[in-house]
Amino acid sequence: MKVGDGSRTSAWYDTWSNLGPLSNILTPRVISNVGFQLDAKVKDVHENGSWSWPMAWRDLYPVLIQRDHITLNPVERDEICWKDGSELLDYSSTNVWHSIRFREQDVNWVKIVWFPQCIPKHAFLMWLILRRKLLTQDKILQWEFSRRKNMNMMCCALCFADIDSHQHLFFECKFSSHIWNKV
């Protein structure tokens, strides 16, 4: 949390400083015993430029002294933020996604497959083809299930001349070569 006026940030349960939530230090019983509400906001415990918690807490919990530098700004609103490493970003699904995802190197054919006006079904099929993941019969026969069923190798459904494989379908099949030439 990025604290502005302190009206939307929980004093005890939100992470509004680099030390983490105060609930990691103070138990609900300790908070209630001195008269604070458990649903109190930061502005409720910070009045006239200082914290309104008991002085005894400073001796019992010296980490609270590190919070003295925090001042509220009545003009700004509190904001939810996303911490990416040491950088504090605005909270958005985009920032979270870019922070947590594993990013592969871009491939040179990415703009051929994925572009703004692409038809998703066609783009997905092309993506499978370029990654050699199209389920041709030679791939299916590699599965354990197919071997147990004693599935016979079937020929190409287009030319009936050779086995159905990626290599044959796109580079050797006479029928698909005829289509590619027409295109």
Q: How many CA atoms lie within 13 A of 64 on its CB side?
A: 21
What is the predicted pLDDT for the residue at 125? 92
Output the tens digit of pLDDT for each of the chain's 183 residues. Answer: 788 888 889 999 988 877 789 899 899 999 999 999 999 999 999 888 788 888 888 888 888 887 777 788 888 888 888 888 888 888 889 989 988 888 888 888 888 898 999 999 999 999 998 888 888 888 877 776 655 555 555 788 888 888 888 888 888 888 888 888 888
Q: 60-78 b/e with 16+ CB inside 10 Å = b?
A: eeeebeebeeeebeeeeeb
| Phi, psi dihedrals of residue 50, rounded to the nearest 5° | -145, 165
CA–CA separation, 118 and 54 (whole Å): 63
Q: Which of 64, 68, 62, 21 is nearest to 49 (CA)?
A: 68
Q: Which pLDDT score, from 0 to 100, does residue 149 have?
A: 57
Report pTM.
0.51
Strand partners, 79: 2
